[in-house]
Amino acid sequence: MPLYDAEYLPLSYLSQIGYCPRRVGLLLNERIWLESADTAKGRKEHENVHTQRIERRGSQIKLFEYAVFSDTLGISGKCDLIEAQKEPSGCRIPAAEFPVILYPVEFKHGKLRDEQEYKIQLCAQAVCLEEMYHTTIPEGAIFYISSHRRQPVEFNEPLRRLVCETAKELHRIRDTLSIPTADYSEKCRRCSLLEYCMPSIKQSAHAYCEQLTAEAQEVEML
């Protein structure tokens, strides 16, 4: 049975919440987005990938920008690339005249590195495809554009549980319209929302600002 009856949230935000819960709260609930050098570079490197198309080479089909969803996780989004290889015991998809096995590939900018949030995002794509086409996907890969290398990712049970837990937390943040507190660290320096988030400000200062805002709103209502 589906876990959620409300809105389907962006699949890519499973990666965002893994990077920083506060960031995803700002993106979801305050609709804040600011560009940085890193995000601009990543967007540019994705341009060749983020064009919906199908490429066929014999018994292999490549599906770019393929839309997926999961009723169980309450998410929807697009896969950068799905490699579909002909296999008699595989599943049926609309783009293929023969049964196939599916292999999702997520593109990331930068050099090869081990990022758990990227694995969560990729595994969530596999879960979506498994639900949509009643199949099993044991593995996928993350392709790092700058280094032109793939990092295979096994979709084992611990990772699948983490995907489910992350999806639940994403929905909790959305349902409660909450903005998680800041946890300042080195990665904050490269975050495009740094100036808006102000993670280094003490919570007492945040509380004071919130109090001033509330008081100002009360005055406006009088």
Given a cut of 70, whether residue 17 has pLDDT beyond it is yes
pLDDT at 1: 46
Q: pLDDT tens digits for 50-95?
A: 688 999 999 999 999 999 999 999 999 999 999 999 999 999 999 9
Q: What is the full DSSP assignment across 119-148?
A: HHHHHHHHHHHHHHHT----EEEEEETTTT
Measured CA to CA in angstroms, residue 98 lies from 4, 55, 93, 95, 177 at distances of 33, 15, 8, 9, 45
Decide if pLDDT at 40 tops 50: no
- State mean pLDDT over 15-32: 86
Domain ranges of the chain: 9-180
Token couple for 151:
């990092």
* CB within 8 Å of 28: residues ≥ 6 apart: 9, 13, 170, 173, 174
Query: What's the whole-model pTM score?
Result: 0.80
User: What is the Cβ-side half-sphere exposure of residue 48, based on CA atoms within 13 angstroms?
Assistant: 6
Percent of the chain with pLDDT over 70: 79
pLDDT class for 113, splitting at 50, 70, 90?
confident
pLDDT at 136 > cutoff 60: yes
Check whether domain 9-180 has CATH 3.30.9.10, yes or no: no
